[in-house]
Structure 1
Amino acid sequence: MGDYQQFVTDVTTRLSAMSKGELYVAGDSLDRDSLWLTFLDSFPAGTNLKFRERSEYDCSTCRGFVKGFGNVVEIRDGQVRTVWSGVSASDPVFSVVAAAMDEFVGSLPLSGIFRSPEAQYGTKTTRTLRDGQVEVWHHLHGRVEKRHHSTDVGPARGTFDAAVQVFQRGLAELVPHALDTVADLIDGNALYRGTEHRRAVTEFRSLQNQWTQAADRRAFVFANAMHPAARFRNTVIGTLVQDLSAGVDLEQAVRSFETKVAPQNYQRPTALITPAMVKAAMKTIDELGIEESLQRRFARLSDVSVNNVLWVDNDTRSRMKDGIEGLLMQAATTGSSGARLRDAKPEEVPIVTFMKDILPDAASIDLWVANSHEPHFVSLTTGRHPAAPRLFTWDNDFAWSYGGNVTDSIKERVKRAGGNVTGKLRVSLSWFNFDDLDLHVYEPDGTHIWYQEKRNKLDVDMNAGSGHSREPVENVTWTGKVPAGEYRIAVNQFRKRESNGVGFVIETESNGKIEHYSHERAVSQKETVEVGRMTVAGEVITAFRPGKDMQAGSAGKDLWGITTEQFVPVSTIMYSPNHFDDSEVGNRHYFFMLKDCVNDQPARGIYNEFLRRDLQPHRKVFEVLGDRTKCEPSPDQLSGLGFSSTVRNSVVAKVTMTGGRHRLVSIQF
């Protein structure tokens, strides 16, 4: 017979040692009688003899212990170990019993944390009197430390079960790439108060890495369910990782996060790109060999082939890339000065007619540059390394940049923002920073159109809630009947976020005519600027009286080295580079390069709208590159006015024809 007393001592010692750490139960829904029957059936034949009426080891005291503590387990070094593990290894009888119980309990699934209303099960010894002799019986017994004892086990088990569920979902649903992206944003100081969450992200990433390598993942979850980082999925930073894991766009996910944690006047300090995104983009840049292509500058006349110039004045010809040779146009003569140009209404000429019938015989061209043309100031850009591979969707290295570093007019910006630009009457607001400006229009009967009462007319309201665009617009369009009378237009600063890029521009359009009115100083918090009074008759704007702080009309101002509200000589006329060399990629622009027109501000040489298709996946990185690799001002640049073929507009030109005849034309786009 084996030594049952030693077996009892081993089990008791084992339970005591386990009790110092966290205890769990396996097969909590198991019928506890199964534990007891397995215990009795595990004795080798002939070792559990009858004592009087019952088996020797079949007593109520041992039964209480086996049912109470028999399926208690610990998790050590990632492995589940039962209260029977390694017990009585030197005893052939009870080693078999312990091994059988260990195998049975070890096969049961982990089901929860161990909490018991009873701190102790079993009794160490009992005594009986037999033939006048006192017999001492040893029993399985043991007690657990106070931390495992509870008079109400439900809440404790419920809390643990909830923690396991949250931890398990976080480990399975939050993808490593999303965690890496958030960590990169924090390290790059691109996330509001991100440093507060660095530890949580780091610790959860570490737990997830361990979980993926664990031999028993369920055991790992149980062992770490009460770790502070286990509830990561349900934290505010965890919701950001959830969104990214679910495929939400980075900017949208971060805006959602910042809505939860940032004050309303929060302004993002840096762009939303991560080191991983930069690394991926640079890998593509390296593979394509286009690193030199990213270095941009203002284009000079000597860069442009004569084949891509529609017209050039005499003084400019010798500076062309191909020189005078190959210039396929008639020699222009200076002729006599001719009669003084009379004040007269210009004849309206479509741009196609102007190019076909007037331009070939033009000796000189002067353009009337109005204040309203300020958004049309444009510069031609090119690469610093002519042999470098192209960046754009067309087969040359030229690009363009309008004033304010945009690729198109206010109208085009409204279109891109989803606004309607095809109505009978339009009033659009454009500004250049993260402020939240609001457009207010009052119709003749007092009807107020603004973001709270859009009246089916205001269809674009940008930078509300959070500043996320430096090309914001708001737009009001009348598609139905346009009431006659006087309209009042105002702009309110709902939330000021920046001191850079201040001011705004109002654009009006009716009957194909576009006018601009600008406000150049900063608009302070909650300030309302009176833009002006607009008179409408027959659904057309017949008059506009600007407010006192608005600039429009005949007062000339200095822009890019020239003075507006006067005629300025044209040096060169060309299409936009996407239509060079008979190419036709996207909308065509007409560029009138002006003499002595010099953009004195750094200009973007790279726009995402221009990029080749294989570079589009890295557009967020290229957005930053475009902002940080601007072309520095140079005196010999090609700058002037640009007009899109998709936007109705006009410009007045004074044309001196070969032979000295003069024509005053309004070129219609």
Structure 2
Amino acid sequence: MSDFQQFVADVTTRLSTMSKGELYVAGDGLDRDSLWLTFLDSFPAGTNLRFRERSEYDCSTCRGFIKNFGTVVEIHDGQIRTLWSGVSAADPVFSVVAAAMDAFVRTLPLSTVFRSTQTQYGTRTTRTLRDGQVEVWHHLHGPVAKRHRTEDVGAAQGSFDTTVQVFQRGLAELTRDALDTVVDLIDDNALYRGAEHRRAVTEFRSLQNRWAQASDARAFVFANAMNPAARFRNTVIGTLVQDLSAGVDLEQAVRSFETKVAPHNYQRPKALITPAMVKAAMKTIDELGIEESLQRRFARLSDVSVTNVLWVDNDTQSRMKDGIEGLLMQAATTGSSGARLREAKPEEIPVVTFMKDVLPAATSIDLWVANSHEPHFVSLTTGRHPAAPRLFLWDNEFAWSYGGNVTDSIKEKVKRAGGNVTGKLRVSLSWFNHDDLDLHVFEPNGDHIWYREKRNKLDVDMNAGGAFSREPVENVTWAGKVPDGEYRIEVNQYNKRESSGVGFVIETESNGRIEHYRYEQAVGHQQTVEVGRMTVTGEVITAFRPGKDMRRGNAAKDVWGITTEQFVPVSTIMYSPNYFDDNEVGNRHYFFMLKGCVNDQPTRGIYNEFLRRDLQPHRKVFEVLGDRTKCEPSADQLSGLGFSSTVRNAVTAKVTMTGGRRRLISIQF
């Protein structure tokens, strides 16, 4: 083998090794003819002899190879290596040529990714006839790997170049503090479906850290431009990081993000809290000297003065703060067993009339706690240090907290998940574990609505993948015309994951009427349950025939130790603390504290709307503190149902009066 043949073999081997990975082109705007001349001029003087009219190694096939492959490079361990790197021929002449080409190409800036429409450049051999003899000439040559071939080189390189620009700007402009803040928000569940974006944020953050430490930053950008995170800056989560990096206020930046990704009725489940904000909050606490005031707990019956109680059950009186002596009402005596509770429609009585005319003569009160009352579960809270400065607009240390951690109604769950609950007809599925149940609805014309064919009606599909919820829902809503006829509803168990919390509830709504149908058994893997057949006339549900094992009505639930959908004894009735003693601040609430009602979740003891006026400038700080200084659960707490005087509502009470008479009363708020 001649020395040139060995040189060709070495270059071909080097190209083959490089082609296993991504290839790039150096020399933006470089004249390819000048590259060819550089190759010819790299031969030491006197070594590139003349053959006929041209230099010995000057041929069109080698020229084609040099022009197309001469400036191709790879990026290995963060360093740029050329086609000529490490090529060492037996003949020192070709080693000099390889070294000269390597040095020249390494001076050229990276330009773009290598792509070609060709399958090969150069030819292994050519033959000529000279003096009747066939001469064989060897040339530089090499194939274009399949991964580097494309029918549209311009489009492929243009796309790559755009990605490099986006990646470069993102690395330079997006700050580490902004990236850390977004990760904190995601981990704190303060961004709509934030968990879906966490990997993108952390991947880009990792790339940025490596870029900052790279010895060749440009090479790092090119080597990682194929990473999906390279276009992070132009993603929806990337725009949030952009805003924060540019100094946009946190609330405003997140609000802008939510307008892009969240449904219009979305409400953020948590305040925007980051570790940096918590540090600032703790500093403010010291400056205001209110550390003791911020320490809150659940209130006990012994904390409440009898002067602030409207009614108390006989069994509860002795546990009041002021004992029996201070009671405003006389202890009622128990008379005869009384008449049996009438199975009649409850008397509708305004709450003011109930307080004035019914309570004084009541010896026992039981409330019907429906599932629809779940948002009304409330706890009374107080300060751990009664002598500490007050925080609130009223002159006492008490406050209250409605059940933010209590499971919402199905309708509220659907709204929170971004589903439409305002259509003419709605069918919603709710279940209670990590299983992947699927709702199937067959319209009268046979159209099948399910996760593969949503038909613009199925808008919520949970537990299919990603983050799992123990309060999942699926939702089908008809916003436009609702066809008359019979609808078939089914539920399929696509993926059974758990054996606890089994069963499901179907909620239907039309013309303002909500109905529930429950299935109380486990749904096996791939099992289909026929929920029932629903008749719709004039866009209103006129009949519903439940399927086998389906039960009409809500399933009772355990909420705060109370079993819903039944009567529960009341221990005491009181106004909200803003109406204790002589206070009359804001809206009045009516609290019905229930026996055995125990909120088992940490609860906020501080709300911004309660703060006295001189603390209002520190609202953001107190929003943080309210979430970080929650009251820990206690067994002897005061919890029950609360109703605002400004919101129309009703609750049914079974009241035993003095003398044993029983009344069924619908208290109207």
Normalising by the smaller structure, the TM-score range is: 0.5 to 0.7
Work out the CA distance in 2 between the residues paired with 1:417 and 1:341.
45
**Matching residue of 1:347:** 346
Work out the CA distance in 2 between the residues paired with 1:480 and 1:668.
35
**Matching residue of 1:245:** 241
Contact kept, 8 Å, 2:167 with 2:232, in 1: the verdict is no
Work out the CA distance in 1 between the residues paired with 2:239 and 2:371.
44
**Matching residue of 1:70:** none
Contact kept, 8 Å, 2:379 with 2:400, in 1: the verdict is yes
Work out the CA distance in 2 between the residues paired with 1:231 and 1:347.
75
**Matching residue of 1:406:** 406
**Matching residue of 1:665:** 665
Work out the CA distance in 2 between the residues paired with 1:497 and 1:622.
36
Which amino acid is the alignment partner of residue 594 of structure 1? L
Within the candidate set 212, 221, 226, 2:218 is matched to 226
Quote how far apart the aligned CAs of 1:648 are. Answer: 7.2
Work out the CA distance in 2 between the residues paired with 1:294 and 1:544.
55
Work out the CA distance in 2 between the residues paired with 1:351 and 1:622.
35
Deviations 1:115-173 (A, max 9, x none): 999xxxxxxxxxxxxxxxxxxxxxxxx998432335x9999545699598567524542
**Matching residue of 1:584:** 586
Pick closer, same or farther for the CA change 1:559–1:531 going to 2, 3 Å. farther
Within the candidate set 140, 143, 147, 2:102 is matched to 147
Work out the CA distance in 2 between the residues paired with 1:169 and 1:476.
43
Pick closer, same or farther for the CA change 1:617–1:224 going to 2, 3 Å. farther
Work out the CA distance in 2 between the residues paired with 1:517 and 1:304.
42
| 1:236 and 2:191 matched | no
**Matching residue of 1:177:** 177
Quote how far apart the aligned CAs of 1:522 are. Answer: 6.5
Pick closer, same or farther for the CA change 1:178–1:227 going to 2, 3 Å. farther
What TM-score do you get using the length of structure 1 for normalisation? Answer: 0.54
Which amino acid is the alignment partner of residue 278 of structure 1? P
Pick closer, same or farther for the CA change 1:320–1:347 going to 2, 3 Å. same
Within the candidate set 258, 277, 280, 2:277 is matched to 280
Work out the CA distance in 2 between the residues paired with 1:662 and 1:458.
48
Which amino acid is the alignment partner of residue 399 of structure 1? W
Pick closer, same or farther for the CA change 1:597–1:331 going to 2, 3 Å. same
Pick closer, same or farther for the CA change 1:658–1:542 going to 2, 3 Å. farther
**Structure 2: runs of 5 or more not aligned:** 1-25, 35-79, 85-96, 115-159, 189-194, 245-252, 262-268
Deviations 1:96-124 (A, max 9, x none): xxxxxxxxxxxxxxxxx9x999xxxxxxx
Pick closer, same or farther for the CA change 1:509–1:438 going to 2, 3 Å. same
RMSD over equivalenced CA pairs, Å: 6.0
Pick closer, same or farther for the CA change 1:396–1:593 going to 2, 3 Å. same
**Matching residue of 1:45:** none
Which amino acid is the alignment partner of residue 331 of structure 1? Q
SS of 2:243's partner is: coil
Instruction: Spell out the pairing of 1:287-326 with structure 2 (5 A cutoff).
Output: 287-288=284-285, 297-306=297-306, 309-321=309-321, 323=323
Quote how far apart the aligned CAs of 1:284 are. Answer: 0.9
**Matching residue of 2:122:** none
SS of 1:226's partner is: helix
Pick closer, same or farther for the CA change 1:593–1:621 going to 2, 3 Å. closer
Pick closer, same or farther for the CA change 1:660–1:468 going to 2, 3 Å. same
Work out the CA distance in 2 between the residues paired with 1:489 and 1:609.
45
Quote how far apart the aligned CAs of 1:363 are. Answer: 1.0
| 1:572 and 2:607 matched | no
Pick closer, same or farther for the CA change 1:408–1:225 going to 2, 3 Å. closer
Larger Rg: 1
Contact kept, 8 Å, 1:371 with 1:552, in 2: the verdict is no
The number of equivalent residue pairs is 498
Contact kept, 8 Å, 2:494 with 2:526, in 1: the verdict is yes
SS of 1:149's partner is: helix
Pick closer, same or farther for the CA change 1:482–1:176 going to 2, 3 Å. closer
Q: Higher mean Cα deviation, 489-498 or 340-349?
A: 489-498
**Matching residue of 1:58:** none
SS of 1:568's partner is: strand
Quote how far apart the aligned CAs of 1:547 are. Answer: 5.4
Work out the CA distance in 2 between the residues paired with 1:187 and 1:424.
37
Deviations 1:339-397 (A, max 9, x none): 32243212341554654564444413433546746846835152562456788999865
Q: Higher mean Cα deviation, 283-292 or 468-477?
A: 468-477
**Matching residue of 1:103:** none
Work out the CA distance in 2 between the residues paired with 1:181 and 1:432.
32
Instruction: Spell out the pairing of 1:371-382 with structure 2 (5 A cutoff).
Output: 372=371, 375=374, 378-382=377-381
Work out the CA distance in 1 between the residues paired with 2:164 and 2:310.
72
SS of 1:247's partner is: helix
**Structure 1: runs of 5 or more not aligned:** 1-23, 33-112, 118-141, 208-222, 258-270
Within the candidate set 180, 200, 225, 2:207 is matched to 200
Pick closer, same or farther for the CA change 1:479–1:237 going to 2, 3 Å. closer
**Matching residue of 1:262:** none
Identity %: 51
Quote how far apart the aligned CAs of 1:654 are. Answer: 1.9
Instruction: Spell out the pairing of 1:544-559 with structure 2 (5 A cutoff).
Output: 545=546, 548=549, 552=553
Quote how far apart the aligned CAs of 1:192 are. Answer: 4.5
Contact kept, 8 Å, 1:573 with 1:593, in 2: the verdict is yes
Which amino acid is the alignment partner of residue 147 of structure 1? D
Contact kept, 8 Å, 1:371 with 1:557, in 2: the verdict is no
Which amino acid is the alignment partner of residue 632 of structure 1? P
Instruction: Spell out the pairing of 1:611-650 with structure 2 (5 A cutoff).
Output: 614=618, 616=620, 625=628, 631-634=632-635, 636-641=636-641, 650=650
Quote how far apart the aligned CAs of 1:199 are. Answer: 5.2
Quote how far apart the aligned CAs of 1:281 are. Answer: 1.6
Work out the CA distance in 2 between the residues paired with 1:396 and 1:389.
9
Work out the CA distance in 2 between the residues paired with 1:455 and 1:383.
52
Pick closer, same or farther for the CA change 1:180–1:640 going to 2, 3 Å. closer
Which amino acid is the alignment partner of residue 236 of structure 1? P
Contact kept, 8 Å, 2:167 with 2:231, in 1: the verdict is no
SS of 2:218's partner is: coil
Work out the CA distance in 2 between the residues paired with 1:531 and 1:304.
49
